[in-house]
């Protein structure tokens, strides 16, 4: 198998790195660490000006006409520099669903502004009693003429306090259960009746609880047919599993190697001289490479119109959790000092990864759910969950 990087991908990476030097400032990175918002409006606008919010869309739709590999190279360059990419990536999950299943009127109202980096969409899936099972949705939507009246609450709605819209899963048929009787609505976040409360996580991220009380939304903002939200939701979840693989394990590996080559070992050398340290770094580098290759597999299968499955979304976060813990163990207590302390090891990067890793195992579905999907859909094993 030829692993040589294509010239157009290398060129895209160079473009991404040049963009980083101009737009991803130290102040932006520090602000993201302080707030955990996952969003920078100036960064989104700069990306939008180049067609990089929706890089694989054609230029006629505000994209850059790139392939999946070029887009991944650019995004990885921005992420590696600490640029907040949760906002652009999550917005595109909803935007692609709207592009595929929304009405022409809704597409015109939403998509051009998304491509320009002017519009931010959060995801309203999870509810307090549902957890990873989004089809336990209890947030109600009731048709009232040309409007929907929405009541309920969602949790873990990242950057809801900054978003323009929420891609909201609702139950429009009151006697329905599970995946039946659902309707997807794109709710303007400045609509009366919406209340947002902050939730701080152990991984530096801010997320939110969002309450909807008699929120009225025009039928224009419905995505897909009423009561058929399952199809919209399924497409959005599959897309999330495809972007979730953007594993941070390679970034952790790079940081660990830099530390080992610079940290003194107390014997006149550096930690990289220790064969035990080298062995652990080698094993970490192998898992980082596999994470990257699984990400490329996602890009390739999407490029040819297939469905990649959740392999990368499972392997990447699981190895990230494993190795963030291993690096703390190898470096010692000093690695637990966070970025606010000037004496922190490598600027606090290992503490940051250790705290961030656990939450990554729920992106695109929890690890348990992803294992079930692999077992059922690819291995033909019996369902682990009853049908509803």
Q: Looking at residue 246, what is its pLDDT? A: 53
Q: Looking at residue 1, what is its pLDDT? A: 59
Q: Give tens-digit pLDDT for 109-142.
A: 999 999 999 999 999 999 988 776 788 899 999 9
pLDDT by residue for the chain (388 residues), tens only, comes to 566 778 889 999 999 999 999 999 999 999 999 999 999 999 999 999 999 999 999 999 999 999 988 998 899 899 989 999 999 999 999 999 999 999 999 999 999 999 999 999 999 999 988 776 788 899 999 999 999 999 999 999 999 999 999 999 999 998 898 889 999 999 999 999 999 999 998 888 899 999 999 999 999 999 999 998 888 887 776 665 545 445 689 999 999 999 999 999 989 999 999 999 999 999 999 999 998 888 888 777 877 777 777 788 889 889 999 999 999 999 999 999 998 998 899 999 999 999 988 888 877 677 888 888 888 877 888 877 656 5
Q: Looking at residue 225, what is its pLDDT? A: 92
- Domains 122-227 and 244-378 fall in the same CATH topology: no
Distance of CA 84 to CAs 9, 254, 310, Å?
Answer: 22, 19, 24
Q: Looking at residue 244, what is its pLDDT? A: 47
- What residues does each domain of the chain span? 7-84, 122-227, 244-378
Q: Looking at residue 239, what is its pLDDT? A: 60
Distance of CA 141 to CAs 144, 149, 218, 378, Å?
Answer: 9, 5, 12, 35
Q: Give tens-digit pLDDT for 172-185.
A: 998 898 889 999 99
What is the CATH topology of the domain spanning 122-227? Butyryl-CoA Dehydrogenase, subunit A; domain 2 (2.40.110)
What is the CATH topology of the domain spanning 244-378? Butyryl-CoA Dehydrogenase, subunit A; domain 3 (1.20.140)
């Amino acid at each position: 198998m030829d692993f040589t990087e294509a010239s157009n991908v290398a060129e895209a990476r160079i473009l991404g790195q040049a963009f980083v030097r101009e737009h991803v400032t130290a102040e932006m990175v520090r602000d993201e660490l302080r707030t955990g918002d996952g969003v920078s409006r100036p960064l989104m606008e700069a990306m939008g000006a180049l067609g990089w919010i929706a890089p694989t869309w054609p230029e006629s739709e505000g994209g850059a006409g790139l392939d999946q590999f070029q887009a991944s190279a650019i995004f990885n360059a921005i992420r590696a520099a600490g640029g907040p990419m949760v906002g652009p990536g999550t917005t595109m999950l909803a935007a692609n669903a709207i592009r595929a299943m929304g009405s022409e009127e809704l597409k015109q109202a939403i998509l051009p502004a998304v491509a320009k980096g002017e519009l931010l969409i959060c995801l309203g899936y999870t509810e307090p009693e549902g957890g990873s099972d989004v089809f336990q949705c209890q947030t109600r939507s009731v048709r009232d003429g040309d409007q929907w009246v929405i009541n309920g609450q969602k949790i873990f709605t990242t950057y809801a306090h900054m978003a323009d819209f929420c891609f909201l899963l609702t139950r429009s048929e009151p006697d329905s259960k599970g995946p039946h009787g659902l309707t997807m609505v794109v709710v303007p976040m400045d609509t009366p009746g919406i209340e947002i409360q902050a939730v701080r996580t152990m991984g530096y991220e801010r997320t939110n609880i969002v309450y909807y009380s008699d929120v009225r939304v025009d039928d224009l903002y419905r995505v897909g047919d009423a009561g058929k939200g399952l199809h919209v939701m399924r497409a959005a979840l599959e897309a999330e599993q495809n972007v979730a693989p953007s594993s941070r394990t390679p970034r952790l590996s790079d940081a660990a190697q830099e530390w080992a080559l610079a940290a003194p070992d107390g014997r006149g050398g550096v930690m990289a001289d220790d064969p035990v340290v080298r062995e652990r770094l080698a094993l970490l580098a192998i898992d980082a490479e596999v994470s990257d290759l699984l990400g490329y597999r996602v890009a390739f299968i999407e490029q040819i119109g297939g469905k990649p499955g959740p392999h990368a979304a499972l392997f990447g976060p699981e190895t990230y959790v494993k190795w963030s813990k291993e690096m703390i163990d190898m470096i010692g207590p000093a690695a637990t000092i966070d970025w606010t302390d000037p004496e922190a090891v490598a600027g606090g990067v290992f503490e940051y990864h250790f705290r961030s890793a656990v939450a990554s195992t729920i992106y695109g579905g929890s690890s348990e759910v992803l294992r079930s999907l692999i077992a059922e859909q690819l291995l033909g094993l019996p369902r682990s969950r009853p049908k509803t």
